[in-house]
Amino acid sequence: VTELTGYRRPDGRFGFRNHVLVLPLHVAACGAARRIADGTPGAVSVAHDWNGQGSREDRTRVRRVLSGFATHPNVAATLLVGLEGDDGIAAEARERGIATELLTLVGHGGTEAVVSAGLGACAQLAASAAAHRREPAPLSAVCLGLECGGSDALSGITANPALGVASDLLVAVGGTSILAETSELIGAEHLLAARAVTPEVGRAVIAIIDRFERDVRALGVDLRDGQPVPGNMAGGLTTIEEKSLGAAKKGGSAPVTGTLDFAQPALTPGLNVMDTPGNDIEQMVGMVAGGAHIVAFTTGRGTPTGSPIAPCLKIASNSAMFERLRGDLDLDAGTIADGHESLQEVGRRIHDAIVECLSGRLSAAERHGNREFAISRVHPLEIAAHPAAPPAAG
Amino acid sequence: VLTAFVRAGGRAGARNHLLVLPSVICATRVAGEIAERVGAVSLLHQHGCSLVRDDAARTAQAFEGLACSPNVGAVLVVSLGCETVQGGTVAQEIARRGQRMEFVGIQRDGGSDAAVVAGEAVGRSLLAEIGGESRIAVPPARMVLGIEASRDDPRIAELIALARTEGATVVIGDELPWARPGAGSQQHVALVAAGCQVIVSFPALDQVATGFPTGPVVAVGGESPLQRALEADFDLQAGATSREIWDAACDAFDGAPCAAELQGRSTFALPRLAMTL
């Protein structure tokens, strides 16, 4: 079994990748950020559509995501590219001891000038990051994001409960897990609430699902338009409740120690429930911004997505799909349905793969350069610009 | 007299792009790699899944409108397979509207590596097909000029008058049904889907210049500290005359790259009605 190794950051946290992140803080800076990262070996950037306009709630949400990425322990150095300012994000990253530079389009007078200044700054950040070395790390330092995407009828029987076993193993030694995707917990909330460490946490779990259902109703839309998605149904899932009962299995049997808002830092060890959409990318971004070092992602249909700054391990729910899309997948949990392995055995295998991956082995998504990124909004721009739109009931 | 790529049906294209169109964010990496390998344009976007019905329909319409716009010579749709906005359905609609189209599916074709290989092959043959086309002379009347009027600027009315004198068609962004409530760059998708080959953008004074993946956006700066500071990202400044703006739109139509095209800046912003599910 591999010994867990990571990078000890100046603030004492462990990171398990050593990324140089070029982070645009505004949609206008995305082109420049991409060119800077493309011109710096080893650097990664993200793209998003945030233009600074939105409701107060969405501003908070977006800021939490950007700050969570800029200060993530998997990031050794951050180059922030803003429009005019940085909303205090550079100071937060520096406080944590992350090598940080800030450039703005206005300060430099446009895209070309920011790109040429950024290439120089980023080369220096990359050089400083290269000096960091791995050292042994305790499992209790790990924060694991739990995700399922493109689920099928086997997901809730093989891959999800096996991942639940792996999550329980991590939580048992003092680690942290994040269970998310609110729309895919509908119908399973009472089971999670019953496992809460206190009645308050149980009520908070119920409240997350209640609020989501109320918001959807207030918008006058039918949840079932968007969930389950077409691939889920092609894979044999019939209703959102059925999907949820399978999805919640990723959380294993550990007590629920706390709830988190979207992208809120996960500071309490144990199993946390984060309020995110079921949308694969927005969910992954929320969990990673909240501190997940790695995402374990089960899939029945097969999907290649990954995070710009965290490894993403793909676990197939069925062996046929695993064989067909092998290059995009890391582990096969279909062996449970075939009778070749038990849930416990696959769970242990997932646990070991998580340790290996954290210690440096690249996930399929990393080998392919999958770095999807999108920021979930509660009020998309159109609604934010029209206060007359129906408010959330309550 | 201007030049353009004349499409079947007579529409004029200011560009002759092969568009590699991912139907969902999960397919953007594969689409981007195919585009990079063959020398095409791709669309880096964040849409296509877990959307409510109206947003899914609007997203599909935007993809289809973009794919069938005259600046696009051919389209390669890249689908994951399980997404809400089904790539196969989008592809069928694009083909039904007469556009040259090919399709690859990540789940259907055996994963992302296989999809890249398949996409590269069909992408190269599509490029070879459209590469044989060349610009021919067309009158300015063949121009469909999109105007994003996100601020009051006296030059907007003058530009419309000039374009109309030359016989061009003018589309005003905030008069299109689903662009009306959107921020400036969100109007661009609607304008392109409406058939505009060139957009002249008058961003709000607190907003920046934005480009678009499949065509020129001629950005006109105004009298604000922000836009003054970012003059280098605008094609024309606060002092430019409406005649100069019209000439720049004609040049862009004729093939001259605008600032955003030169700098690699593009934004595909789609207004959404509701949060994702």
pLDDT tens, position by position, A21-51: 999 999 999 999 999 999 999 999 999 989 8
Q: Is B271 helix (H, G, I), strand (E, B) or coil?
A: coil
- CA atoms lying within 13 Å on the CB side of residue A318: 15
**For A378, which residue in chain B has the nearest alpha carbon?**
B275
Please tell me the predicted confidence (pLDDT) of residue A229.
Answer: 83
Interface test with B, best of A114, A276, A285, A325 (most B CBs within 10 A): A325
User: What average pLDDT does the segment A67-74 reach?
Assistant: 98
**Min Cα separation B74/chain A (Å):** 25
Are B274 and A383 in contact (CB < 8 Å)? yes
B264 touches chain A (CB under 8 A): yes
Nearest to B267 among A49, A282, A328 (CB): A49
**Min Cα separation A306/chain B (Å):** 9
Q: Is B157 helix (H, G, I), strand (E, B) or coil?
A: helix
Question: CA–CA separation, B174 vs B187, rounded Å?
Answer: 7
pLDDT at A382 over 70: no
A217-226 residue pLDDT tens: 888 877 777 6
Please tell me the predicted confidence (pLDDT) of residue B182.
Answer: 63
Question: CA–CA separation, B267 vs B277, rounded Å?
Answer: 24
| Window 45-74 of A, Cβ < 8 Å to B | 47-49, 51, 53
Please tell me the predicted confidence (pLDDT) of residue B273.
Answer: 80
Q: If 0-12 CB within 10 Å is exposed, 13-18 middle and 19+ buried, where does residue A3 land?
A: exposed
Nearest to A47 among B44, B186, B210 (CB): B44
ipTM: 0.94
Identify the helix (H) or strand (E) that includes residue B75: strand B72-79
B242-253 and B154-165 helices, crossing angle to 10°: 50
A313-332 residue pLDDT tens: 999 999 999 999 999 999 99
Could you tell me which residues come within 8 angstroms of residue B46 by beta carbon, excluding any fewer than 6 positions away?
A: A48, A49, A281, A373, A374, B25
Are A53 and B28 in contact (CB < 8 Å)? no
Chain A residues in contact with B107 (beta carbon < 8 A):
150, 231, 301-303, 325
Nearest to A377 among B54, B185, B275 (CB): B275
Phi-psi sector, B232: left (phi>0), alpha (psi -120 to 50), beta: alpha
Identify the helix (H) or strand (E) that includes residue B19: strand B17-22
User: What average pLDDT does the segment B37-46 reach?
Assistant: 94
Q: Is A1 helix (H, G, I), strand (E, B) or coil?
A: coil
Q: Is the peptide bond before A228 cis (omega within 30 degrees of 0)?
A: yes
Are B52 and A225 in contact (CB < 8 Å)? yes
**Min Cα separation A350/chain B (Å):** 22
Question: CA–CA separation, A348 vs A270, rounded Å?
Answer: 18
Entry field: residues in chain B:
277
Chain B residues in contact with A373 (beta carbon < 8 A):
46
Q: If 0-12 CB within 10 Å is exposed, 13-18 middle and 19+ buried, where does residue B40 land?
A: buried
B29 touches chain A (CB under 8 A): yes
The token pair that represents A370 in the structure block: 């999958």
A129-160 residue pLDDT tens: 999 999 999 999 999 999 999 999 999 999 99
Nearest to B229 among A109, A277, A374 (CB): A109
Top pLDDT among B37 and B270 is at B37
Nearest to B51 among A28, A226, A301 (CB): A226
Please tell me the predicted confidence (pLDDT) of residue A388.
Answer: 32
